[in-house]
Amino acid sequence: MCLGIPGKVIGIDGMEATVDFFGVRRLVRLDVVDEPVALGDYVLNHVGFAIRRIPESEVAETLRLFAELAAAGDDQDLLAADLRAELAATQEGKK
Amino acid sequence: MSAGASDGAELKFRDPGRAHELTTALARLVQSLGRAPVTLMHVCGTHEQAIARFGLRAGLPPALHVIMGPGCPVCVTDLCEVDEGVALALQGVRIATYGDMVKLPGSSKSLADAQAEGAQIEVVYSATQAVELARASDRPLVFFASGFETTAVATAAILLAQPPANFSVLSAHKYVPPAMEAVARLPEARVEGFLAAGHAAVITGYGLFEDFARRHRTPVVVAGFEPLDILAALVKLLEMIRDGEHSVANAYPRCVTREGNRRAQESLWRVFQAVAGPWRGIGVIPDGNLQLREEWAALDARRRFRIDVSGLKQATQSELSRRCLCGKIMVGLVEPTDCPLFGRECLPDSPVGACMVSSEGTCKIWHQYGGRPDLGGTS
């Protein structure tokens, strides 16, 4: 539950951002993010809130582990399951 | 036991050469300390998941013990806190909570038991979803909130964003630094260095641990979750022990800064205050519980409802729960495989102790990744 998940900001509407998580678009809250975010930034998200804007130079390194876990479909894999829970904690986009 | 670390294919390092360098350095450092064993503690379920999943213990020198401390927020949720949730649910109040909380045993009942008796328990993945459930009806809804400071920040943000009047919070949120303090004071634990949890430190910053490291003459390294991050952090910890550095190193600079996330801290402390409270299996931890401040009384389920837990207390513990070693496991004094119930009477589907309930519990992690997840390695 402390894992968090990184994603790319592709839309901002007030306190809400549309974030692309490995191809899945979801809404996350920006209430407690540490720095102002702009389109194209990557953010680390936990239970539906962005908690850290990831510096550009660190993005690739941060995404590596998560991309591998996102690809793991095994239900028995607790890390991958926690990552799916982080995704489920974000809101579906409004149509 | 489908994802056992004994399967060589599980040991996927993106840079095997670097992993070998790091494990060689660990062996050299432990030997240079000239005393064995050396015990290092991490306090994060996600670290344990990564250590087990990637079979990291297989590559550690035998004289280096890396153990998990109180790093599972659901596991340390106290019996009396579960009783409060169960009592509210049985009083007819709708409860929303994180999935791992549902099976967590209380004094005599879990939320799942209450649900079987007709109580309404909703599983949510976020505080936002709990608020949405409240908005969808006029009936009272209590969000039974668990998690360390990283998760408590989300609960705080939700309260600051004016939730509906029928919404309130039953806080089982816990604050990790005081629990590290408690473990560091246990003479029998003999922990020589701590790995601090990466994402809790995103919020609090690593500066918070500097005073702790000095007072306990114990180095602290903030670590990320990549297998190589963890090995590198262990190398750093041993170097600091060797050099007598009682300070803090940040081995996760891409996410953690010295001052942390100020905005999140502000939200957290506007809503919560740290008070002494019970941690399951460990005891009362000074400043260990995050309680809603007086100003938020209207949204605090403990102040809003009369919660009567007296019917749930049991005069005697069951035979099984008396044999459960969760308390000792959570402070790192014994390992899951030392418990006579582990994998026998205590299983993920029928947990006796809290450590087998949560995906961040040591027992559940060890069970899922194959018993004692370091026996199969050969590196």
Residues A24-83 have pLDDT tens digits of 999 999 999 999 999 999 999 999 999 999 988 888 888 888 888 877 767 678 888 888
As beta bridge partners, residue B121 has B95
Cβ pair B150:A46 closer than 8 A: yes
Chain B residues within an 8 Å CB radius of A53: none
Token readout for B379 is 């590196």
Break chain B down into helix, strand, coil percent, rounded to 5: 45, 20, 35
Chain B residues within an 8 Å CB radius of A52: 202, 255, 261
Cβ pair B125:A78 closer than 8 A: no
Cβ pair B254:A61 closer than 8 A: yes
**B280 within a domain of the structure (yes/no):** yes
**B210 within a domain of the structure (yes/no):** no
ipTM of the complex: 0.92
Calpha distance B252→B206 (Å, rounded): 10
Token readout for B6 is 């004994």
Residue closest to B307 by CA, chosen among B144, B147, B103, B85: B85
Contact B333, B17 (CB under 8 A): no
Chain A residues within an 8 Å CB radius of B169: none
How many angstroms separate the CA of residue B159 from the nearest CA in chain A?
A: 11
Residue A1 confidence (pLDDT) above 70 = no
Calpha distance B310→B108 (Å, rounded): 11
C-alpha distances out from residue A68 to A71, A77, B50, B79, Å: 5, 12, 12, 37
Residue closest to B335 by CA, chosen among B309, B313, B361, B317: B361
How many angstroms separate the CA of residue B13 from the nearest CA in chain A?
A: 10
Cβ pair A46:B151 closer than 8 A: yes
Calpha distance B255→B203 (Å, rounded): 10
| pLDDT confidence of residue B379 | 38
Nearest CA in chain A to B145: A47
Calpha distance B54→B12 (Å, rounded): 7
Domain locations in chain A as residue ranges: 5-88
**B302 within a domain of the structure (yes/no):** yes
Q: What is the dihedral of CA B208, B213, B216, B220, to 10 degrees?
A: 110
Secondary structure, 3-state, B313-335: CCCCCCHHHHHCCHHHHHCCCCC
Contact A31, A67 (CB under 8 A): no
| pLDDT confidence of residue A94 | 60
CATH number at A5-88: 2.30.30.140
Calpha distance B238→B105 (Å, rounded): 38
State which residues form the domain around B283. 79-176+261-311
Which residue ranges in chain B fall short of pLDDT 50? 1-11, 375-379
**B285 within a domain of the structure (yes/no):** yes
As beta bridge partners, residue B275 has B289
Nearest CA in chain A to B262: A34
Domain with residue B293: its CATH number is 3.40.50.11740
Number of structural domains chain B divides into? 1
B133 near A CB under 8 A: no
Chain B residues within an 8 Å CB radius of A2: 44-46, 73, 147-148, 150-151, 197, 199-200, 360
B253 CB contacts (<8 Å, ≥6 apart)? A58
Calpha distance B141→B129 (Å, rounded): 12
B213 CB contacts (<8 Å, ≥6 apart)? B219, B220, B246, B247, B248
User: Which position has the token pair 């939700």?
Assistant: B158
B56 near A CB under 8 A: no
Chain B residues within an 8 Å CB radius of A6: none
Cβ pair A2:B203 closer than 8 A: no
Residue pairs between chains A and B whose CB atoms are closer than 8 Å: 131
A28 near B CB under 8 A: no
B108 CB contacts (<8 Å, ≥6 apart)? B312, B313, B314
**B204 within a domain of the structure (yes/no):** no
Calpha distance B379→B230 (Å, rounded): 17
| pLDDT confidence of residue A11 | 97
- E strand or H helix at B283: strand B283-292
**B169 within a domain of the structure (yes/no):** yes
Calpha distance B9→B22 (Å, rounded): 20
Count helices and strands (H / E) in chain A.
2, 5
Cβ pair B151:A1 closer than 8 A: yes
Calpha distance B97→B69 (Å, rounded): 24
Q: Please tell me which of the candidates A15, A81, A91 has its beta carbon nearest to residue B359.
A: A81
- Measured from the Cβ of residue B14, the count of other Cβ atoms closer than 10 Å reads 12
Cβ pair A31:B157 closer than 8 A: yes
B199 near A CB under 8 A: yes
Secondary structure, 3-state, B79-141: HHHHHHHHHHHHCCCEEEEEHHHCCCCCCCCCHHHHHHCCCCEEEECCHHHHHHHHHCCCCCE
- ω before B37 within 30° of 0 (cis)? yes
B264 near A CB under 8 A: yes
Cβ pair B264:A32 closer than 8 A: yes
**B129 within a domain of the structure (yes/no):** yes
Cβ pair B12:A68 closer than 8 A: yes
Nearest CA in chain B to A83: B46
